[in-house]
A and B are shown apart, each in its own frame.
Chain A
Amino acid sequence: MSLGLALVAILVVAAAAGWLGFARAARLRAASRLHSLPVYHGAYAALWAAIPALLIIAAWAPTQSQLVDRAVLASPEGRALPAEPMQRESILSEANDIASGAIQQGFNPQSSTLAPRIQEENTRFGLIGGAAAILAALVAAGLALRRSAPQFRARTGVERWVMIVLFAASLIAILTTLGILLSLMFESLRFFRLYPLHSFVFGLEWSPQTAIRADQAGSSGAFGSIPLMWGTFFIGAIIAMIVAVPLGLMSAIYLTQYAPARVRSWLKPILEILAGVPTVVYGYFAALTVAPIVRDFGLSLGITSASSESALAAGSVMGIMIIPFVSSMADDSIAAVPQSMRDGSLAMGATTSETIRKVLLPAALPGVMGGVLLAVSRAIGETMIVVMAAGLAANLTLNPFASVTTVTTQIVFLLTGEQEFDSPKTLAAFALGLSLFLITLLLNLIALHIVRRYREQYE
């Protein structure tokens, strides 16, 4: 019996328990006053039937595959497998595919003899797990049904379950954060065992080639992250912000302070479209249209090193993408400045622009700064634009027409090649990911703190 079948059976049991609970309570209701509505009696029984049993299935499913593997390896067919781990793994996975019906015939003849064994063990352990879960459902449903009485507080019981579910849902956020931290740290630690931490953090050279042959020249691989950090900072925090901050800030000022309501109601959604365009589209646009223009412009200025994968092309397109983000953050901060300050300034005879420049902007500055920091954090984590439009050469340069590379570009490059999972190259990607996560985390925390402090100031 497969676990899927057990799942269906549990749902049937739960539905039956729910209906029985409802029917019993409805009969009780004819004779006496109930504490809870019959619906709650039904839901109480159904929840008790379903949730513990489903938890058993969820816990059993991963255990089962391990138990099956162990049993199959202990069987005579399993012991005949070659001892060499790579070969062994490939035969096992082939046999698994045959057993599940994904493929008809394996590349290796041994997998065909192994497949019936796997099926057999699967059935056996599936039967154990499924039977346990169904038994649990039946017992829990029986116990829950026995409690139905006029004074039984079924609603409170149901609400307790709902509360647990609500809490579990919010736990997912913590689990995700923990999952990110743990998986990145775990793989990074393995990387730092192969490559020293201080060379990674302070190293000036990035060339992630690893040896194909032992005697190969220049095969050691250098994983100094400084050039990547600089490239990321150069594109995301300097070039993109030079484009996005003035345009975003002035757009916000124009839309909130000057534009008539009708114009604003049209322009604001149009600006928001800029934020909704997928990044892969920006990347294609940057690589195909903007990069040649930038290169030709650089060549016409006499910069012979102008690259078709320039930092300027990627950074400026990224800046355009960030405009609506900066604009809406600036919008919020300016709107939070109290009306009385604006009125005071205007009453003293200041023009609108003087009020904006000398009163509103200084007052809104912390909020705007927080918004810019969030924008920077978003820009340095942006991937597709730089993957498609920036280069792979790790240069430490100030020249915006030269090619630089970024952390995200290198992560994609390192992980999309044909690589075994444990090579320093793939592990380096996780170390880069960890650095990126920590940097953006720091930026976000500072920015959120500034924004919150600033809001409280005027509230």
Chain B
Amino acid sequence: MRQLRGRYAAERRFRAFGFIAVALSVAFLAFLLVNMASKGLGGFTRYEASLQINFPQTDLFLDPAQLHGPDAAQTIAGADLSGAISKAATAAYGADAANIFSDAATTVVTNAIVKDPQILTGSTTLWLPVASKIDVAAKGDGEAASEKLVSEFNQKHALRRTFNSDFLEASDATDPSAVGVWGALKGSFLTIIVTILLAFPIGVLAAVYLEEFAAKNRWTDFLEVSINNLAAVPSIIFGLLGLAVFLDFMNLPRSAPLVGGLTLALMTFPVIVIAGRNAIKTVPPSIRDAALGVGASRMQVTFHHVLPLALPGILTGTIIGVARALGETAPLLMIGMRAFVAAPPGGITDPATVLPVQIFLWSDEVDRGFVEKTSAAIIVLLLFMLVMNGLAIYLRNRFERRW
């Protein structure tokens, strides 16, 4: 009897271990997500301070009459706006405040002038984004000197918190209060398009060949082993391949989404082949037999019947593979997509960076202002991952047939 009780206790203990293992894994995930969210949500907002600029006293030498038409912004860019801002800041808040505004403040002033050139003739009050040091202090994590400035501003009600739309619209910059993810997002988008265009058709065709047409012989075994192995080759090796073949041998442009997409396509294509083969395998032989029986050729059987039925499964595998490529960093570092790129790429041969690499670059920065920007960029990346994986799960549940 006592022995039996002992055995039941062991049973409960074992079960509890299992539960703890799952709970720990889920807890890790929750901790990771909460940690990123708490650090990063601040990156989507920024502090702005109000500043009265008396334009005639700023030595800008801009003539409101010339500031019409499409070239206005360019004309203003030639003027020393940041000098004017720092002059106005000194006049309004004292010498300590000369450098409290972000590089992004010039853009705000430029837009204000373009919108209404007449403000140049008088004095205007604008809300301008503050420099990273002040921003970090206002969010409660800064140095003493900056904290003091912030409390002074707060007493005058000259500081407000707003949504940082620049973070989604701007590109990389040296000033953390002016950075954005748009350039990196566009780079990621172009890279992934190249990857999909190459990896999906080639992967599906190779899967069709191996599953439907390949003869059972040594050569096919060799093909199979090399595909299965490629799916498990470390991603950084593909980066070395890209560096040696695409950059060094074929002289394709460095840091370009074209090369990044090519490299990631080589990495993603075995994943698609394996998913495709599994999906094609689940289509029952009776479908093939029926089609062959009414006189279809093997090619027609495959492309008219088997492939459409296997497509949802193939798409699910493709989305998961592409999502992995989207989050990949190491191979892209190898082919030079880690350069500082301040403008979004215009095409697939322009220098670009991608979101995961951007996160890596920002995580290396010393400036404290980059901590929340890095975490905020991670939130954007995780959202994309969530959408893609959600889409894959939806497709699987909605279209996959059990035969």
- By a beta-carbon cutoff of 8 Å, the part of chain A in contact with chain B is 62, 155, 159, 162-163, 165-167, 169-170, 172-174, 176-177, 179-180, 183-184, 186-187, 246-251, 253-255, 257-259, 267, 269-274, 276-285, 287-289, 320, 323-324, 351-354, 356-357, 374, 377-378, 380-384, 387-388, 408, 411-412, 415-416, 421, 429-430, 433, 436-437, 440-441, 444-445, 448
Contact = CB atoms under 8 A, between A and B. Distances in A.
B8 A408 contact: no
A253 B249 CA distance: 50
Interface stretch (B81-89, B114-122, B140-148, B232-240): B232-240
B270 A173 contact: yes
Contact of B360 (A285, A388, A440): A388
Closest 8 A/B residue pairs (Cβ): A381-B234, A278-B327, A254-B18, A250-B21, A169-B205, A183-B244, A353-B14, A383-B330
A384 B29 contact: no
Contacts of A411: 236, 240, 334
A59 B79 CA distance: 52
Residues of A contacting B: mostly = helix
Contacts of A269: 393
Contacts of A412: 236, 330, 333-334
B208 A166 contact: yes
Given A170-B214, A173-B273, A278 B329 contact: yes
Contacts of A279: 327-330
Given A274-B29, A284-B374, A285-B32, A436 B360 contact: no
B32 A383 contact: no
A454 to B, nearest CB: 16
A163 B270 contact: no
B299 interface: yes
Nearest to B14: A353
B240 A184 contact: yes
A173 B237 contact: no
Nearest to B12: A353
B18 A250 contact: yes
A444 to B, nearest CB: 5
B269 interface: yes
A103 to B, nearest CB: 13
Contacts of B160: none
A343 B214 CA distance: 40
Interface in B334-365: 334, 338, 356-357, 359-360, 363
Contact of A284 (B11, B240, B327, B378): B378
B234 A440 contact: yes
- SS class, residues of chain B in contact with chain A: helix
Contact of A320 (B25, B208, B213, B375): B25
Given A273-B29, A277-B29, 8 more contacts: A170-B227, A269-B393, A276-B385, A278-B385, A281-B327, A353-B10, A412-B334, A416-B338
A351 B17 CA distance: 16
A123 B70 CA distance: 36
Contact of B241 (A159, A179, A276, A277): A179
B25 A183 contact: no
A274 B21 contact: no
Contact of B363 (A172, A267, A381, A388): A388
A280 B359 contact: yes
Given A281-B359, A285-B32, A408-B234, A165 B273 contact: no
Contacts of B250: 62
A167 B210 CA distance: 9
Contacts of B238: 180
Given A174-B226, A177-B226, A320-B28, A378 B385 contact: no
A430 B25 contact: no
A179 B237 CA distance: 11
A272 B22 CA distance: 12
B244 A172 contact: no
Contact of B226 (A167, A169, A173): A173
Contact of B26 (A169, A253, A267, A441): A267
B139 interface: no
B396 to A, nearest CB: 10
Contacts of B13: 353
Contacts of A387: 330, 360
Nearest to A408: B236
18 contacts: A166-B213, A173-B226, A173-B273, A176-B266, A247-B21, A250-B17, A251-B21, A254-B18, A254-B21, A267-B22, A281-B32, A284-B374, A352-B15, A380-B234, A412-B236, A421-B248, A430-B240, A440-B233
A269 B390 CA distance: 10
B73 interface: no
B236 A383 contact: yes
B209 A167 contact: yes
Given A357-B14, A383-B234, A441-B229, A169 B241 contact: no
A166 B210 CA distance: 9
A278 B356 contact: yes
Given A169-B205, A174-B226, A284-B374, A187 B244 contact: yes
A288 B371 contact: yes
Contacts of B264: none
B245 interface: yes
B371 A173 contact: no
B22, B32, B378 — most chain A CB neighbours (10 Å): B22
A367 B269 CA distance: 26
B11 A281 contact: no
Contacts of A280: 327, 329, 356-357, 359-360, 363
Given A173-B273, A384-B329, A281 B381 contact: yes
